Structures are given as C-alpha cells and as structure tokens.
Structure 1
Amino acid sequence: MNSSSVEPLNSVAVNLSHLESCSPEPQHLTITVLLCLVFLVGFILNSFSLWVFCYRISHWTSSNVLQFHLALSDAIITPAAPLMATYFIKSNHWTFGSFLCKTKIALLTMHLYGSILFLMLISIHRYIVVVQYKKTSPMKQVKFIHKLCGGIWLLLLASGTAIFSMFNTSNVGNQTLCLSIHQDEYTQVYFTVNLFILILGFLVPFAVTMVCYFLLASSVSRINTTTTKGQAIKSKSHKTVAICLAIFGFCFMPIALVRTIAVVVKMFFPNECKLLVKLETAYYICWILAGANCCVDPLLYCFVSRDFNKCLRTSLKTGGKIQEKRNENELYDQDSTFNSQPTI
C-alpha cells in the first residue's frame, strides 16, 4: 500500500522537475556584447549611408532609390536593439511592458524581411540593367521604383501590424518572456507563422535572387574583358553577386534554418528541453548574424553605386563641404550601362 502510493508521488516529482528544466536559461554575456556591437556599428554605417543618399547625391537613379530603402529597412531595427540587450542582461526577463514587446517583434520582422525583399529587388534590377540593357523596363524608371518600394513598405507595415496583434508577453514562473520558444501558448502560432514566412519571406526571394545572379554571371562571363568598359562591368557585377549571396547565406539562411528546427522540435517534441534551450541560444546567435547585414549592406552601396562611392570619398576627404556633381557619362553608373551595348 505504501509502496504503491509512493511511486505515483515519485513520478509526479520527476515530471515536475522535467517541466522545470524546460524553463528559459540565462544567455551568456557574449551574446549581449556582440548584439550591442553589431547593431551599434550597423546604426552608424546606415545613418551615414542615409545622410549620403539624402544630402550628398543630388540626382537619384533607380539604383539609388533601391539602396536608400535597403538602408532604411536596416535602420529601423535600431530602437529594438537596446531592448533586446536589456532582456538578455536581465536573464530573459522582459520589463518594458506588453506594448514595447509587440513593437520589438514587429520591428524585427519588418527589418529582416524588408532587407531580404529589397536585396531581391536589387538583384532583379541589376539583372535587367546589365543583361537586358536593350529592352525598356519599368525597373529602369525612377518613378516606378519609388512606387514599387512604397508597395513593399505597405506590405511590411501590414505584416508588422499582424505580428503586433498576434504575439504578447508571457509569464513563466518568475520571468516575463517576449518572443521565446518557451511561450507554450504560441507553439501552434509559431509553427504556422514560420511556415508562411519561411516560404514567402526567405525561400522565394532567395530563389529569385539566385536565378537573377546565375543569369547575370552567365551573361557577364561572355563580356570581352580586353576593353576597359568590359572589365568594369564584369568586375562590378561579380562584386554585387558575391556580396548579395554572402548576405543571404551568412546572415539570413542560419536564422531561417534554426528557427524552423526550433518550432518543429517545440511542436512535435516538446519534452526535449535540453535541445530547446540550445536551439534558443542558437536562435539568438543567428539574430546577431542577421543583424550583421546592417554592417555589410553599405559595402554593396559602394560597389554598386558610383554616385555613392564618389560622394562617400568626397565627404570623408572634405568633411562634407564639397558637393560632388553627378557625371552622366561615368562608366560605373549603373543606370547608364543599358544605354550602350557591352562587348560580348
């Protein structure tokens, strides 16, 4: 009688201890330091990039418009960075209330997928300008690009608003969680939302970018590099391809992969607590990698936009006192490459 009554009590104790092991664990200080460093550098670089676009480039091309909106999507993450750092310092305890938690999640979503979508548009634009230089296309028109970017921002705003309304804080023990795999009430929502954004927010843009750059690389490989113009077009295109693919592979792919694994494990193997804790840490590391695109994107502006490159060098040399005039016949001007046929 006594032994039979003790066994259920022991099993309950084991289950309770097992559940307690699923609670979130404090993250290493290194994650907080790296997070602050990445987003601080990204904030400085993108603020300077936006200043160059707004005050140093007098005449925007369609390429400049796309790059400006990419820099803007990188900059909107800035308000969320201090909140995330404080969250980690306080051992995954959110103290800023429900509204700021929702805002943080919305900003993270808009930043990440805004960067992905604008990089995809830059790849499409580069392909059309270089490969289809003889054909007329709306992608070569500044007004159309402005409208296209406006449509992207409306889409991002709609997705951010939807995310804002879906998620909230959760109380787990003595902790208040915000965007954590340990929020059990959001398990099904995390799984569904991840499937949606994985396909439409990453796989489709990545596939489009890969196709554009494959066709671009195939085309520029036939350019006659004995001419100065051929060498310039080929070099510029190769740098653009390399940077964009590096951003997708190094910054965006890890977070998509780790987040998908985490929600699948949480959905179908919720008792794998040690694995979930490790996946949560990996997810935060991947957010740092994703944030690193804010630091890499300014390199893209330097390589793709001759105007940005010239204004950057002028601003650094003169302290911003000399306004660089745009040269319509510059060899490296992206929008002028389709006006004359390269030697292939």
Structure 2
Amino acid sequence: MVWNSSNTTCSPQPQHISLAVIFCLVYLLGLLLNSFSLWVFTRRLRKWNSGTVLQFNLALSDAIISPITPLMAVYFAMKGNWIFGTFVCQLKIAVLSIHFNGSILFLTLISVHRYVCVVHFSRSSLIKRKAFMKKLCAGIWCFLLVIGIIYGLMLPVTTEEHNMQCLTIHQKTFTEVYFIINFVIFIFSCILPLTVSVFCYSRLASSLSRININSAQSQSVKAKSMRMIGICLVIFGLCFIPLNVVRTIGVVVIKFYPKKCGLILQLQTAYYTCYILAGINCCLDPLIYCFGSRDFVKAFRRSFKAMGVRRNVDNKSESDTGQCVNRNVIYTVSQ
C-alpha cells in the first residue's frame, strides 16, 4: 500500500476500468428509460392526477444526473484525477445531491400517497389533490436546489498527492465536514425516509392482503399494488441502504483510524461499487410508473404503436394512483 508523506492518510489509488464501464452502462440505461418516461408523461399522457405529478418529478430527479455521468466516468478512467476544475466539481456535487435526495424524497412521497389512497380511501386529504401536489413538488425542488448549492460550495476541489480530488475520501481537509454531512444525510435521507416507506407499505400490504376479490379486474389492481410495494422496497434495500452504510463506515474509519490504509482503500472500492448499485434505481423507477398508473401504461403502449411496434393492448389494466382497492370494491379516488 502507498502512504502519503505525512503518514496519516492513504494516497489515492486508481480504480479498475470496469467500474467506469459499468457505471456508464447503468446510467445510460437509466437515461434512456427516464427520458422515454418523461416523454410519455409530457407528450402522450392526456390527463394527470396527484400520483402522476409525483411520478413525473421522480423521473425528472432520475434524469438530471445524466449530464455529469461522462465526467465521473472520465474521473474513474483518469485514476482519480479530477481535470475539470473547481466549478464543474461543485456543479457535480450539487447535481448528485439533488438527484439522490430528490429520488429518495419522491419515492417516500409516493409511498405516503399510495398509503393514503388505499388505506384511507374514504378520507379527504390534500395529498390526493393535484394542485396541492404541484405546489409541494415545487417546494421540494427549491429545497433540493438550496441544499445542493450549499454542499457544492462547502466541498471544492483539493490537491492530494499531486492529484486533483473531487468528493473523495482522500480530501483530508474535509474529514470533519464529511463526517458531519454524512450523518445528516444518513438520518434524514436514509433512515427517516426508509422508516416512513416501510410503515406505509407494510400497512398497505396488510390492507390488501385482507381484501377478498373475485373479479379479474380487481385482482389485477391488487397484484399491481403488491408488485409496486416490492419494487419500492427493493429500490431502498438495493440502491440506497448499501451506499449509505458503506459511506458511514468509511467516514468513521477515516476520522478515527486514518492509518488503516488497506481498509480505507477497500472501503473506497466498495463505495464506488455501491454507487453503481445506487444508479440502478434510475432503471427500476420506471417500473413504478407501469405498476402505478393505468394511464401511463396506455400512453406507453400508444407510443409504441405510434412508432410502428405492434402491441396487444389490454384494456383491463388498472391503476392504484387513480383507483384504490378496498373491501371487495374498487373506489375511484378524487385527485
């Protein structure tokens, strides 16, 4: 292992080129899926409801990371040497913050929306109203922008062992800052949203499991709801939890055990691997739109037909965003 001259931190080590390749492939697929989803939402979907507003904003938060993906791939390929300057580094940090925090917030809101729609189908709620949801999403974007700018200004480029470093564990100047920021993110962007989502989806699954449905149409709605629960929990479990856990272990080791160079470098590789896993959420989120919106599925199929792709359209596909199943009846929810 290579140590720096002060013998207190490890020198930056190059990552395997396969990380950059896989990273590009994952986010390229996510870009294609979310770009197409945004096109369906904006060009093919005739009528929106409160659930559609949330899904559109989730797709938007997934798509905004695309412009900085090539820069990060080059960073990996350049053996951890940032060549794009301080401003682009700060822009990258701001966009990453907006992307990850936005994805988690909108996923959490989707879980709350689905819970209110199904479990409390007969109650009036602001979250079922499209106008309120638009204002809430606008407020969330303002909040995400402010947080992203703050993070970007706090974490400029530094020179470590003759390499320019941007948002890495080797920036010893930011050890304390990373430690504090990490636990803020871990609590408010991981533990709290995960707790809310698990509560909402466990109550939703419990409510759906008690429903005795005989019609094929209602069974389809119930099956789609259960699949959506599974997809959302998989996204949290596969994409966001490993990244937050590894990053938390990393900042603790760097702060309290800075001379454990081998462990630090292993954690760095593990973090980048988890970073790729986190990117898979961009590929999985479009499944939520398919399971959560009948209108989206119809618009999706119309789009393929318009491009000359022959598809059999199933008119019995149902949605939980606009309709809720409870007690042997499908209740239409006022959005």
Assess same fold via TM > 0.5. Answer: yes
Match of 2:264 among 261, 265, 276: 276
Offset from partner CA, 1:61-82 (integer Å, 9 cap, x none): 1111100000000011011101
In structure 1, what residue type is equivalent to 2:23? L
Match of 1:343 among 312, 324, 328: 328
Match of 2:276 among 243, 266, 288: 288
For 1:127 and 1:241, how far apart are their aligned partners in 2? 10
Shift of 1:226: 2.0
Offset from partner CA, 1:115-146 (integer Å, 9 cap, x none): 00000000001111111111111111100110
For 1:154 and 1:18, how far apart are their aligned partners in 2? 42
Match of 1:169 among 131, 134, 157: 157
**Residue ranges of structure 2 left out of the alignment (5+ in a row):** 310-314, 330-335
Offset from partner CA, 1:304-324 (integer Å, 9 cap, x none): 111111111111122189xxx
Percent same amino acid among aligned pairs? Answer: 49
For 2:177 and 2:4, how far apart are their aligned partners in 1? 25
What is residue 80 of structure 2 aligned with on the other side?
Answer: 92
Specify whether residues 127 and 15 from structure 1 end up closer, same or farther in structure 2 by C-alpha distance, changes over 3 A only: closer
Range with greater deviation from structure 2 (183-192 or 166-175): 166-175
For 1:298 and 1:21, how far apart are their aligned partners in 2? 41
For 1:24 and 1:47, how far apart are their aligned partners in 2? 35
Aligned residues: 323
**Aligned ranges 1:194-209 → 2 under 5 Å:** 194-209=182-197
1:334 and 2:320 correspond = yes
Shift of 1:229: 4.2
Shift of 1:202: 0.9
Contact 2:75 2:82 in 1 (8 A): yes
Contact 2:34 2:286 in 1 (8 A): yes
What is residue 170 of structure 2 aligned with on the other side?
Answer: 182
For 2:162 and 2:317, how far apart are their aligned partners in 1? 62
What is residue 148 of structure 2 aligned with on the other side?
Answer: 160
1:221 and 2:209 correspond = yes
User: What SS class does the counterpart of residue 13 from structure 2 fall into?
Assistant: coil
**Residue ranges of structure 1 left out of the alignment (5+ in a row):** 1-13, 322-326
Larger radius of gyration: 1
Offset from partner CA, 1:183-221 (integer Å, 9 cap, x none): 000000000001111101111000000000000011000
For 1:97 and 1:207, how far apart are their aligned partners in 2? 39
Shift of 1:16: 6.2
For 2:133 and 2:5, how far apart are their aligned partners in 1? 57
1:316 and 2:288 correspond = no
Offset from partner CA, 1:127-172 (integer Å, 9 cap, x none): 1111111111111110011011111111111110110110011111
For 2:85 and 2:151, how far apart are their aligned partners in 1? 16
In structure 2, what residue type is equivalent to 1:334? D
For 1:176 and 1:162, how far apart are their aligned partners in 2? 21
Contact 2:52 2:321 in 1 (8 A): no
Specify whether residues 56 and 237 from structure 1 end up closer, same or farther in structure 2 by C-alpha distance, changes over 3 A only: same
Shift of 1:85: 0.4
What is residue 62 of structure 1 aligned with on the other side?
Answer: 50
Contact 1:230 1:342 in 2 (8 A): no
Contact 2:108 2:193 in 1 (8 A): yes
Contact 1:229 1:342 in 2 (8 A): no
Match of 1:265 among 241, 253, 257: 253
Contact 2:12 2:161 in 1 (8 A): no
Specify whether residues 21 and 143 from structure 1 end up closer, same or farther in structure 2 by C-alpha distance, changes over 3 A only: closer
For 2:12 and 2:205, how far apart are their aligned partners in 1? 46
For 2:3 and 2:69, how far apart are their aligned partners in 1? 37
Specify whether residues 320 and 57 from structure 1 end up closer, same or farther in structure 2 by C-alpha distance, changes over 3 A only: farther
For 1:72 and 1:257, how far apart are their aligned partners in 2? 26
What is residue 45 of structure 1 aligned with on the other side?
Answer: 33
What is residue 246 of structure 1 aligned with on the other side?
Answer: 234
What is residue 324 of structure 1 aligned with on the other side?
Answer: none
For 2:190 and 2:73, how far apart are their aligned partners in 1? 26
Shift of 1:335: 4.2
Match of 1:23 among 11, 14, 20: 11
For 1:317 and 1:98, how far apart are their aligned partners in 2? 47
Contact 2:10 2:170 in 1 (8 A): yes
In structure 1, what residue type is equivalent to 2:139? G
